Amino acid sequence: MDPLSLDWGAATAEFANEEKNAATHILIHNISTPERADRSIRFALARVKWFAEKMPPGSTQEVWFDDRDQQVSDTIRKSMKERLTPHVAGLMFMSEGEA
C-alpha cells in the first residue's frame, strides 16, 4: 500500500512563510546512532513528500534538526545531508548554526 494514498489530513509545518511559499520542518529526534539517524531520515523524507503534494506549486521546504545536547558524529550528519539535501531547499542542524 502506498502511504501517500491514505488521508493523513492537512499538512501543517512548524513554520510557514506564505510570502515565500516556503515551509520549515523542525524535527527533535534522537539522531545519535546510525540506526536512529536512518529512521529520522525516512521520517523527514516521507514528511517532505507528503507536504509536496499538499503545498502550492513552486513551494519549497527546509528541514531543521534540533540536535543540541546530543553526541552526533560528523559521519552521521554527513550521511543525513547527502540523503536529504536533494529533496529540500535547505537543511540545518541547530548544533551547527547556519545551514
Q: What is the pLDDT of residue 8?
A: 59
DSSP state of 18: T
Q: What is the pLDDT of residue 53?
A: 85
Q: What is the pLDDT of residue 4?
A: 60
State the chain's mean pLDDT as an integer: 88
Which stretches of the chain are assigned E, i.e. beta strand?
15-17, 22-27, 60-65, 90-93
**Confidence grade of residue 10 (pLDDT, cut at 50, 70, 90):** low
In the chain, the percentage of residues whose pLDDT exceeds 90 is 64
**Confidence grade of residue 97 (pLDDT, cut at 50, 70, 90):** confident
**Confidence grade of residue 81 (pLDDT, cut at 50, 70, 90):** very high
- Kindly calculate the radius of gyration of the chain based on its CA atoms and give it in whole angstroms: 14
What Å distances lie between residue 29 and 2, 19, 42, 79, 88, CA to CA? 25, 29, 12, 16, 18
pTM: 0.83
Strand order in the sheet with 15-17: 15-17, 22-27, 60-65, 90-93
Angular region, 69: left φ>0, alpha ψ -120 to 50, beta rest: left
